[in-house]
């Protein structure tokens, strides 16, 4: 039972229970639909995972969600859980989902690309393939090359999203050079004064003094739901 829960936690999209969708960021993700690789990067608590999960939900886009952890440095572990996630997303095509060959598990680029081409045929575009907490992958891990290969053969309508900490993962270096990577960072994630006013007005809340607003922004970071909650508390609501 514990193992089943662990598997579900690794390949299940987060449930949204207390979020205020950021329409501006959802629209930005729409604009970036032609980028095969999107990096959502920011400090912990900035609402990165909630943003991507809300995008998949509000746009009704099929989404393969994968929670990355240090064990994924082992490609056998990575492809095992990727297979589970793919079967959950496309149960009617689970018999067509490829089994990784020894060459794939060894990280051979050509074999990895062939594997993902087969896998993508089981995931009908449009789709998102999200790797959350990607900062957990060690810098020297061969998983970075696997993700690069997966991006190379993405079909039209497919997108890979890496949700990571404030540092860009090594995967970005060569992909960003040829313009195939889009990045949503802290500059886009943070709550600017105009967005603060919009959120407060939407909830019928009166803004406190400007200094108090800035303190709340520093406290809650980027996500509107946290700002609303902090504002309500500041008002005794």
For residue range 170-179, what is the model confidence (pLDDT) as tens digits?
666 666 655 6
Please tell me the predicted confidence (pLDDT) of residue 227.
52
DSSP of the chain:
-HHHHHHHHHHSPPP-SS----HHHHHHHHHTTT-SEEEEE--TTSSHHHHHHHHHHHTT--EEEEE--GGGGSHHHHHHHHHHHHHHH-GGGGGGSPPPPHHHHTT-HHHHHHHHHHHHTTSPSSEEEEEETGGGS-TT-THHHHHHHHHHTPPTTEEEEEEE-SSPPTTHHHHHHTT-EEEE-HHHHS--HHHHHHHHHHTT-----HHHHHHHHHHHTT-HHHHHHHHHHHTT-
Residue 177 vs residue 195, higher pLDDT: 195
Q: Are residues 127 and 160 in the same domain?
A: yes
Residue 211 vs residue 149, higher pLDDT: 149
- Structure confidence at residue 96 as a pLDDT band (50, 70, 90): confident
What percent of the chain is modeled with pLDDT above 70? Answer: 70
Please tell me the predicted confidence (pLDDT) of residue 14.
82
Q: What is the mean pLDDT of residues 121-129?
A: 92
Least confident of 17-31, 63-77, 171-185, 211-225: 211-225
Q: What is the mean pLDDT of residues 102-127?
A: 94
Q: Are residues 170 and 207 in the same domain?
A: no
Kindly report the average pLDDT of the chain as a whole number. Answer: 81
140 has a pLDDT exceeding 90: no
Q: Are residues 111 and 224 in the same domain?
A: no
Which CATH number belongs to the domain containing residue 110 in this structure? Answer: 3.40.50.300
Domains contained in the chain, number: 2
Q: Are residues 25 and 11 in the same domain?
A: yes
Structural domain boundaries, residue 118: 2-189
Please tell me the predicted confidence (pLDDT) of residue 209.
44
Among 105-114, 158-167, 178-187, 189-198, the range of highest mean pLDDT: 105-114
Please tell me the predicted confidence (pLDDT) of residue 219.
47
Q: Which residues pair with 162 in a beta bridge?
A: 39, 131
Q: Are residues 169 and 127 in the same domain?
A: yes
104 has a pLDDT exceeding 90: yes
Cα-based distances in Å from 181 to 148, 151, 200:
11, 10, 34
Q: Residue 5: which residues within 8 A CB-CB, separation 6 or more? A: none
Q: Are residues 81 and 147 in the same domain?
A: yes
Please tell me the predicted confidence (pLDDT) of residue 232.
54
Q: What is the mean pLDDT of residues 97-108?
A: 94
Q: Are residues 170 and 65 in the same domain?
A: yes
Q: Are residues 87 and 122 in the same domain?
A: yes
Q: Are residues 159 and 124 in the same domain?
A: yes
pTM of the predicted protein model: 0.81
188 has a pLDDT exceeding 80: yes
Q: Are residues 160 and 142 in the same domain?
A: yes
Q: Are residues 149 and 222 in the same domain?
A: no
Please tell me the predicted confidence (pLDDT) of residue 220.
47
């Amino acid at each position: 039972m514990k193992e089943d829960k662990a598997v579900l936690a690794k390949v299940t999209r987060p449930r949204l229970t207390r979020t205020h969708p950021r329409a501006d960021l959802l629209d930005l993700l729409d604009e970036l639909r032609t980028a095969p690789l999107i990096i959502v990067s920011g400090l912990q608590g900035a609402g990165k995972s909630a943003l991507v999960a809300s995008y998949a939900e509000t746009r009704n886009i099929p989404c393969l969600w994968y929670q990355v952890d240090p064990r994924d440095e082992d490609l056998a572990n990575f492809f095992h859980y990727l297979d589970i996630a793919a079967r959950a997303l496309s149960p009617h095509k689970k018999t067509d989902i490829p089994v990784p060959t020894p060459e794939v598990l060894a990280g051979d680029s050509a074999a990895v690309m062939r594997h993902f081409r087969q896998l993508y045929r089981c995931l009908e575009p449009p789709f998102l393939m999200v790797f959350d907490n990607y900062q957990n992958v060690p810098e020297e891990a061969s998983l970075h090359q696997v993700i690069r290969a997966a991006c190379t053969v993405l079909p039209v309508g497919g997108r890979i999203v890496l949700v990571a900490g404030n540092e860009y993962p090594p995967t970005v270096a060569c992909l960003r050079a040829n313009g195939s990577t889009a990045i949503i960072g802290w500059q886009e994630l943070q709550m600017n004064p105009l967005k603060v006013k919009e959120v407060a007005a939407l909830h019928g809340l009166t803004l406190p003094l400007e200094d108090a607003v800035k303190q709340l922004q520093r406290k809650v970071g980027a996500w509107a739901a946290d700002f609303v909650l902090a504002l309500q508390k500041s008002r005794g609501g």
